Structure 1
């Protein structure tokens, strides 16, 4: 049977149009910022230089694959969530991690946008009772809110930042207007997670009375997030929060940890001065020490310097790097999972939540090149730990490999 060429072309066009009609609204075949990005960081900063860029990228890909397989799971129809413990529960901190990672890994992972949109729908299905644009901080394995349906600032901030990245990655003309969603939660954070009398980040939207109202948590000091929030909304209140956050970093550093650069898990206001929280202020006897919350500060604070060159915490980070290299004899295996602010170790074991972020802080100066290379090797070759440790390792590897980017 003879088939005319024009007829074949017409049929192919019709089939293409039919396929395009079946593509869900908002789905794109392109990523504007596909992994790997190889971002140019601040002049004078460094990356691991003992392996190739391809090896750096592949280490991130491998860690993402293992992280995704272990913790990223379907929830209710069209939703995804991040399992943060063996009971199948989740928290907004983990959810924010999942949303940022999905955007960053788009281009390598072809399902990244599907994951992100499902995570977004889960976030919107679990609003805080104090502000519907913030996320209730914890759900059980049946996806029900537990332990109080209010928010935690770190989860809110990472979710907001991920939506800004999503706007840059995929645009906001699809089924989800990522930029508007970002502005909604950013404005909610300013309204409920920020103490506007002090310009400090609250612990969550619940922390509005007593000492909790003026307390803050250094692991929430996501300075580049704050600058992105200001850029997206043109709300100069965010500059006030950024400035106050840097002021608190240096107040604690100069007053309590000038020889180590270590920051405590929680900071409280006493009179007009900020100081480490006392034991059992909120979580444990180590609330005023460098413990499992503040283990993230070398990653969070140094990342802003790497991206913007803002050097207001440079001295604190330099002291931190000098301390950790000295106390470990330049061996990452000797990093301990917690310290008093004077540098005395709290425990005799190690944890990825502690050693990996020191690789990010090391990037601020070429004086740390050998140390950075050692931390990279140790992180890449370390045994698998739990959700928290593996998440922090992955974030740290992304930054160390030069693949972190900003709004």
Structure 2
């Protein structure tokens, strides 16, 4: 397909342009009904979290995060770029919103590398909390730009390639090929990585866009890390920790408490809950059997541990499967639905998860969960595709 002209979408929402590998599950029922449910969730997400006029600029948009440390964070802007690129063809404002978020991103370069994004802004759109980067945000920003280049043409691909290069230079450890926490995390931080920064599909797209075999090496290193963590530290569950330490020694292990964020840095917590989504999406879109096996291990544990009831999914687990987090959140449930796509015995579990997600509209106070849920639903409904 060629890039869209004048804002038209080359890959319009609902066209299901990317066939998933044989054996990949999908929710039971009419795909058109699933598409409408995702569109409804998107429109609610947009109404809740997309803000206009940031910093007094009418054309600058940003994704608002009432549940984060600051109103505007890099992770959310990356989510916004990916989501709006995928929703083109359904939302006539998709490109306008995309361009507005991109304007915000470009107005806030990292102090360490101007092709990366300063991670946090206040309600007036001013940098706060330091002006360095967060790797997860930058990965999604670069990926969103690649999607936009496929969708609309223009200068997006050139901007994407500059950001992909900046990620390589500033956010990937040159020896381990694992993701650093940001462009600031050198020295004592060299051996620390975050599992939710393992986004195999993004690295696969970077390799396709650049032709650089570096990204093959990074992909192999990161999927090897995931396999080792599951095999040696969570053999019965497949669960992954928020953070990993000792990556320079060749014997990586879950982080002890308080490495970066809190007492659950070594548990399946509010970062790692995204991992089944990223791994399951790569299995569906990239067909990598390593991603599929990793996602399937988590899926099989989850449907057994919950008895197939999505409301029994907790918000935090030790790696042995012991639950410590109470309540239900789409941030934990939606990624498990993506993982279920890889699990041939999980049709009933997938359908139960899908129905639960469709019955859970975005909570205006929970931007993180809503963003994870919407992107997971795009994958589950086969409305995600590779740039």
TM-score (norm 2): 0.95
Q: Distance in 1 between matches of 2:325 and 2:162?
A: 42
- Paired position in structure 2 for 1:400: 380
TM-superposed deviation, 1:260:
0.3
What residue is the counterpart of 1:94 in the other structure? 76
Answer whether contact 1:250 1:313 (CA < 8 A) is retained: no
In structure 2, C-alpha distance between the alignment counterparts of 1:179 and 1:313, rounded to whole Å: 26
Which shows bigger deviation, 387-396 or 287-296? 387-396
Aligned runs of 1:39-188 on 2, under 5 Å? 39-49=18-28, 51-74=29-52, 75=54, 76-85=57-66, 89-172=71-154, 177-188=155-166
More displaced 10-residue stretch of structure 1: 160-169 or 343-352:
343-352
Tell me which residue corresponds to 1:234. 211
- Residue aligned with 1:278, SS: coil
Alpha-carbon separation, structure 2, partners of 1:262 and 1:110: 40
CA 1:107–1:166: 2 relative to 1, 3 Å: same
Please list, as runs of the form range in 1=range in 2, the aligned pairs for 1:10-21 lying within 5 A after superposition. none
| Structure 2 residue matching 1:201: 3-state secondary structure | coil
| Structure 1 residue 86 displacement after superposition | 6.6
The answer as to whether partners of 2:191 and 2:245 remain within 8 angstroms in 1 is: yes
Deviations 1:150-196 (A, max 9, x none): 00000000000000000100112xxxx11110000000000000101
2:257 paired with 1:279: yes
Which residue does 1:336 correspond to in 2? 314
Q: Indicate if the aligned counterparts of 2:199 and 2:279 stay in contact, CA closer than 8 A.
A: yes
Unmatched segments (≥5 aa) in structure 1: 1-25
* Distance in structure 1 (CA, Å) of the matches to 2:11 and 2:302: 34
* Partner Cα distance (1:128, 1:37) in 2: 37
The answer to whether residue 222 in structure 2 is matched with residue 261 in structure 1 is no
Report the alpha carbon displacement of residue 219 of structure 1 after superposing the two structures with TM. Answer: 0.7
Partner Cα distance (1:144, 1:355) in 2 = 34
Matches within 5 A, 1:354-393: 354-382=332-360, 384-385=362-363, 386-393=366-373
User: What CA deviation, in whole Å up to 9, does each residue of 1:269-320 have, x standing for no partner?
Assistant: 1632111001011001000000000000000011111112111133332221
Deviation at 1:365, TM superposition (A): 2.9
Structure label with greater radius of gyration: 1
Counterpart of 1:22?
Answer: none
Q: Distance between the aligned counterparts of 1:353 and 1:187, measured in 2?
A: 30
Structure 2 residue aligned with 1:218, among 195, 219, 222? 195
TM-score (norm: length of structure 1): 0.90
Give the drift of 1:256. Answer: 0.4
Q: Counterparts of 1:366 and 1:323 in 2: how far apart (Å)?
A: 14
2:226 maps to 1:249:
yes
Find the aligned partners of 1:231 and 1:314 in 2 and give their Cα distance: 20
How many angstroms does 1:29 deviate by? 4.4
| CA apart distance, 1:366 | 2.6
* Distance across 1 between alignment mates of 2:66 and 2:39: 23
Give the match's secondary structure for 2:193: coil
Query: Where does the alignment leave 5 or more consecutive residues of structure 2 unmatched?
Result: none
> CA separation in 2, counterparts of 1:272 and 1:59?
45
- Aligned counterpart, 1:15: none
Q: Deviations over 1:173-222 (max 9, x none)?
A: xxxx1111000000000000010111111011010111x11211111111
Report how many aligned residue pairs link the two structures.
Answer: 376
- Kept in 2, the 8 Å contact 1:37–1:405? The answer is no
| Rounded Cα–Cα distance in structure 1 between residues aligned with 2:329 and 2:285 | 27
Report the CA distance shift for 1:120/1:274 in structure 2 as closer, same or farther (over 3 A). same
SS in 1 for 2:285: helix
Question: Counterparts of 1:316 and 1:308 in 2: how far apart (Å)?
Answer: 14
- Give SS of 1:312's match: helix
1:258–1:319 CA contact under 8 A, matched in 2: no
1:317 is matched with which residue? 295
Moved more, 28-37 or 257-266: 28-37
Q: What is the rounded CA distance, in whole Å, between the counterparts of 2:44 and 2:361 in structure 1?
A: 12
Partners of 2:73 and 2:326 lie apart in 1 by 28
TM-fit CA distance, 1:82:
0.6
For residue 192 of structure 1, the aligned residue among 170, 182, 187 is 170
Structure 1 stretches of 4+ with a deviation exceeding 6 A read none
